[in-house]
């Protein structure tokens, strides 16, 4: 059965005609979109810096020749260290905006670190009972506002200059669904797009678009398809899904690309959720204005492993005359699509160790030799572990080197499936359907690596191994550098062409967030969030007991040349 859906010729012609006669954007909207389309190399205006998801800064003042003189310019501490600092900061016109645990939001002078304003929301006490808390991964900036989704289910817009609340909307019934927002919003034209947590919960997860000016809901997309063939019985009512990370946007096609989370329960003991479970563990192409589904591809039909599609970046990439979308699934396999229609162009593995399938057909995307954990009460050895071949952290694509710098985790697990009745009253409870323990791969030790690869073919140019699998995002720059922070609290600068380490600095706590680069008054800076945290960290001590004692923290380190 085909797992992709595209617009027919007649519909496409209608869309093209509509584009030709559509009225121009209002002047304020045009200015906001122009700013976010990243004409100014000095800024880092959104979560992935640009709509194409590259996480690449064109700045080159800091480069291979002088990076060894990099020194600390300033440090800012948010004052909350639970779950570390998982966010990626944003810089617009010399001001840094970032969010920390418990939804603490800061605006800082990006050259000095001096606080301009801060906002500490009064969160509902229900937050303390939730599974997904108290971390947040980023804010969105646009239309004169700073946007974020809160731990208690609100979307809040702050005045960009003052930090005062411009509007707030209660989008989720968090007391009932136990769900919330933890990912960074994406500002697209006059809308703010974000998705909710839901994958481990007996609910139906959605993706929302709100009007940036008022917070009124523009559209919503339910990631649980209303289809008894896709969800046998009543399983769809508690199907999970959602879209908890940040997507990409193609302005030319007016499409928002968003990955969706896993179905609930995570593990199926047989009959828990019959069908392919659309639209979970899928990549969606949604019309930015209406939220209408233009195409989709389900990377993991009937996901048996919690290998969802919600994580990381979706690279909007043009190659050899083709409009491509490159997306890594949590399983460690990378899917390459024709982004105009969702047809598979290639599939390749980022990981060396996997046994959940024998392989994936690179031409069709078909899973070959599925190996699901199904037998109740009997541990089953599966690679990679539930944290994935890579977690939600992002890689970085450098259009100069044409290489994608990306991390991977070579770790396995024993999964024990357990039957579970979904709890929906008085509030939704976790709906896993099993448990897991981290294990070393067959014949060797678990480890992680940072690779430089061609994102379309998977060809590897260089690789660096880490004892502890890294879970921080990656930055690449026009100065030929790759910046990455590891689990032990060391931030590294590598030569983008060779992988040679050129500089390093110990920040005192491990890295989970996203490094960025920006410039103020002609001077380039590199900002690195430091602060070890993550639900994933709870898995590490089974293999590396010492990780349990790694120091916590939360600090924004900013570096520049001496």
Q: Which residue has the tokens 């879970």?
A: 471
Question: Residue 351 in contact with residue 408, Cβ under 8 Å?
Answer: yes
How would you label 493-526 residue by residue, b for 16+ Cβ within 10 Å and e otherwise?
A: bbbbbebeebbebebebbbbbbbbbbbbeeebbb
By DSSP bridging, strand 447-453 and strand 460-466 are: antiparallel
Phi, psi of 86 (to 5 degrees): -100, 0
User: H or E stretch including 14?
Assistant: helix 9-21
Query: What is the 8-class DSSP label of residue 116?
Result: E
Does the bond joining 307 to the residue before it have cis omega, within 30 degrees of 0?
A: no
Return d(Cα 122, Cα 273) in angstroms, integer.
38
Residue 514 in 3-state DSSP? Answer: coil
Q: Is 306 a catalytic residue?
A: yes
Report CA 355 to chain centroid distance, whole Å: 25
Q: Do 450 and 469 touch, CB atoms closer than 8 A?
A: no
The DSSP-derived string for 414-448 is EEEE---PPP-SSS-----SEEEEEEPPTTS--EE
Task: Report the number of secondary-structure helices (H) and strands (E) in the chain.
Answer: 3, 39
Of 152, 190, 304, 306, catalytic: 306
Tell me which residue of 170, 290, 309, 289 sits closest to 240, measured CA to CA.
309
Which residues are part of the catalytic machinery? 306
């Amino acid at each position: 059965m085909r797992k992709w859906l595209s617009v027919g010729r007649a519909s496409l012609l209608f869309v093209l005609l509509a584009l030709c006669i559509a009225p121009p954007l209002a002047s304020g909207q045009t200015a906001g979109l122009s700013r976010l389309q990243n004409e100014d190399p000095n800024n880092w205006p959104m979560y992935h810096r640009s709509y194409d998801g590259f996480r690449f800064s064109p700045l080159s003042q800091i480069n291979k020749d002088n990076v060894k003189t990099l020194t600390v310019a300033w440090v800012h501490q948010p004052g909350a260290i639970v779950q570390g600092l998982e966010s990626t900061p944003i810089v617009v016109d010399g001001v840094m905006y970032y969010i920390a645990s418990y939804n603490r939001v800061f605006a800082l002078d990006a050259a000095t670190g001096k606080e301009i304003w801060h906002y500490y929301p009064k969160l509902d006490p229900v937050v303390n009972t939730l599974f997904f808390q108290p971390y947040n991964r980023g804010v969105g900036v646009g239309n004169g506002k700073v946007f974020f989704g809160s731990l208690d289910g609100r979307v809040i817009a702050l005045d960009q200059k003052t930090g005062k609340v411009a509007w707030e909307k209660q989008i989720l019934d968090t007391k009932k669904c136990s769900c919330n927002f933890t990912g960074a919003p994406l500002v697209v034209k006059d809308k703010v797009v974000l998705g909710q947590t839901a994958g481990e919960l007996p609910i139906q997860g959605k993706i929302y678009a709100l009007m940036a000016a008022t917070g009124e809901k523009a559209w919503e997309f339910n990631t649980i398809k209303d289809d008894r063939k896709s969800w046998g019985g009543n399983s769809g009512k508690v199907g999970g899904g959602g879209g908890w990370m940040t997507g990409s946007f193609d302005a030319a096609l007016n499409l928002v690309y968003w990955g969706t989370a896993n179905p609930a329960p995570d593990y199926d003991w047989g009959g828990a959720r019959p069908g392919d479970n659309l639209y979970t563990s899928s990549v969606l192409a949604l019309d930015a204005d209406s939220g209408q589904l233009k195409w989709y591809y389900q990377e993991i039909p009937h996901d048996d492993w919690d290998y969802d599609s919600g994580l990381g970046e979706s690279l909007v990439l043009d190659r050899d005359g083709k409009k491509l979308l490159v997306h890594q699934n949590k399983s460690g396999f990378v899917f390459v699509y024709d982004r105009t229609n969702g047809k598979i162009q290639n599939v390749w593995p980022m990981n060396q160790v996997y046994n959940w399938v024998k392989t994936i057909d690179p031409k069709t995307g078909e899973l070959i030799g599925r190996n699901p954990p199904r037998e109740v009460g009997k541990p089953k050895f599966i690679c990679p572990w539930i944290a994935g071949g890579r977690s939600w952290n992002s890689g970085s694509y450098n259009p100069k080197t044409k290489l994608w710098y990306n991390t991977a985790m070579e770790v396995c697990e024993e999964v024990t499936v357990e039957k579970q009745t979904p709890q929906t009253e008085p509030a939704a409870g976790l709906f896993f359907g099993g448990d897991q323990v981290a294990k070393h791969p067959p014949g060797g030790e678990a480890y992680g690596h940072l690779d430089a690869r061609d994102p379309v073919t998977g060809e590897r140019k260089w690789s660096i191994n880490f004892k502890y699998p890294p879970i921080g995002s990656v930055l690449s720059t026009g100065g030929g550098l790759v910046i990455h922070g590891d689990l032990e609290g060391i931030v590294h600068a590598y030569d983008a062409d060779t992988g040679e380490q050129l500089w390093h600095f110990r920040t005192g706590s491990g890295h989970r967030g996203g490094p960025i680069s920006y410039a103020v008054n002609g001077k380039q800076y590199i900002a690195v969030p430091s602060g070890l945290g993550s639900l994933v960290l709870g898995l590490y001590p089974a293999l590396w007991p010492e990780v349990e004692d790694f120091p916590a923290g939360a600090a924004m380190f900013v570096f520049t040349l001496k």
